[in-house]
Amino acid sequence: MNAKIKNITLAAMFLAIGMVLPFLTGQIPQIGNMLLPMHIPVLLCGLICGWQYGGIVGFILPLLRSVTFGAPGFFPTATAMAFELMTYGLVIGLLYKVFRRQNVLSLYGSLISAMLAGRAIWGLVQMIQLGVSGNGFTWQMFMAGAFLNAIPGIIVQLLLIPGIMVALNRTGLIPYQKQQTAFSQSES
């Protein structure tokens, strides 16, 4: 199968998963807000399909879900999430591709970097949208929204994403890439 068609199909699947996954936790909004269910398919899309697809799915998903189902609320939540999830998909896809060897260590490095970058972008967008005045977006709001309230979701992501990727590697569906260095290529 053509790689581009395969990636488009997989990206569409990740978008669909991102649309329905919040329904599993949405019955109790506090749990859904803590588990961050839309983040998981975006991170997987960036890893499996590449940064371009991860970024596009990440940007579209919260906006499409907001317009379709009314959750998350469009402004300021879905608009900030669009940039946050786009950053997740872009960063995890780029970093994972750059690593000389793809393995669990490079996977965690890419995942943690993407999670930090996405949260920073979310905070920046919230500052732009809400302002930084006394009634706007505060440091306490950033820390609560990006880290403290998200601890359960962060833990789920740190366990689930690598677990899925290791399982896909073991089955041969998404094998780790072992890129050769220029030195090892010249020895062949």
pLDDT of residue 133: 60
With a cut of 50, list the residues of the chain below it in pLDDT. 180-188
Q: Is 50 exposed, middle or buried (0-12, 13-18, 19+ CB in 10 A)?
A: buried
pLDDT of residue 8: 98
- Structural domain range at position 53: 3-177
Whether 187 is covered by a domain: the verdict is no
Whether 183 is covered by a domain: the verdict is no
* Structural domains counted in the chain: 1
Q: Is there a contact between 41 and 65 (Cβ–Cβ < 8 Å)? A: no
pLDDT of residue 185: 44
Phi and psi, residue 103, nearest 5°: -155, -170
Whether 144 is covered by a domain: the verdict is yes
Whether 188 is covered by a domain: the verdict is no
CATH number at residue 162: 1.10.1760.20
Residues 94-129 pLDDT 10s: 999 999 889 999 999 999 999 999 999 999 999 999
pLDDT of residue 142: 92
CA atoms within 13 A on the CB side of 150: 19
Whether 182 is covered by a domain: the verdict is no
Torsion, CA 61, CA 177, CA 100, CA 56, rounded to 10: -10
Q: Show the tokens assigned to 2.
A: 């053509």
pLDDT of residue 134: 61
Whether 184 is covered by a domain: the verdict is no
Burial 4-34 (b: 16+ CB within 10 A, else e): eeebeebbebbbebbbebbeebeeeeeebbb
Whether 164 is covered by a domain: the verdict is yes
**pTM (two decimals):** 0.91
Whether 75 is covered by a domain: the verdict is yes
pLDDT of residue 100: 85
DSSP states of 109-145:
HHHHHHHHHHHHHHHHHHHHHH-SSTTS--HHHHHII
Can you tell me the distance from the alpha carbon of 153 to that of 151, in angstroms, rounded to the nearest whole number?
5
pLDDT of residue 184: 40
